[in-house]
Amino acid sequence: MKSYPQEQIQAYKEKHKHTGRLLIKCPDQPGIVSAVTRFLHENEANIIESNQYTTDPQDGKFFMRIEFESPKLPAAEEDVKKNFAVIAQSFEMEWSLKGAYNVKKTAVFASKELHCLRELLLEWQSGDLLADIKMVVSNHEDCKELVESFGLPFFHIPSNKNIRKQVEEKQLSLLKEYEIDLIVLARYMQILTPDFVAAFPCQIINIHHSFLPAFIGANPHQRAYDRGVKLIGATSHYVTNDLDEGPIIEQDIVRVDHRDSVEDLKKMGRSVERTVLARGVKWDLEDRLIVHENKTIVF
């Protein structure tokens, strides 16, 4: 099996070498859209896609995502950011301006169950997952052959609760060495410490094999079966220090009934997990997510 050709990533970067994405969160007030679009016009930008959302009057938050092309990118990216910061300050904005040409350097963490990892690698190989996957890290060797068949570096770092600190030190060193932007937990069955999570705020995506907030924690299929649920699902979310309670990115479900065993639920659940994780990761890679409190705005 051939690895995802680097030439395709280079072709994508070349195609989008002048493409920027502006994400904004601020208090709602008149003049925001006018000020932003005027700024883009002054920077010779052509707006490709624009989305905005305003919460209810009590909360009064404004969110916006604009994708645009400008000949000033990437050469003058820092100057564009510096000039936009003046506008951002006047509207009390939390914002980011990212070039689509900066394909995110990604690390995937996995354990023994490989269905989510396999889905991500196949999507990546086909060019449908625009990530620069730098490595796969696992606390088991079950996925070594699979990962190396895609031509990717594989790092086996055994882990348990007694050596978690030392393990995370090794992992963080690797992530720093490869300048990782995004971490995907593809059924990585280890709890991350607060220090690890703090090093990558809203940069770690997890898949939970349950339709959260139902059945948080381990063994959700058995508990769902015992409860006699008629729907099971999966949830991709950003990781926080509260176990399985981070901002939800994507969810999906499948209908079940009394004839389905626990193993049936697990089998159907794996199918949902694969697609839900892949969608969530793609939206992050495309800068379509804005985190607000413990929610996500998905554009």
Active site positions, annotated: 244
Rounded-to-integer distance, Cα 201 and Cα 99, Å: 20
Rounded-to-integer distance, Cα 7 and Cα 18, Å: 18
Rounded-to-integer distance, Cα 2 and Cα 127, Å: 13
Q: Give Cα 169 distance to the centre of its chain.
A: 22
* Run of H or E including 78: helix 77-90
Burial 129-168, CB ≥16 within 10 A → b, else e? bbbbbbbbbbbbeebeebbeebebebeebebeeeeeeebb
Q: DSSP string spanning 172-215?
A: HHHHHHTT--EEEEES--SPPPHHHHHHSTT-EEEEESS-TTTT
SS3 171: helix
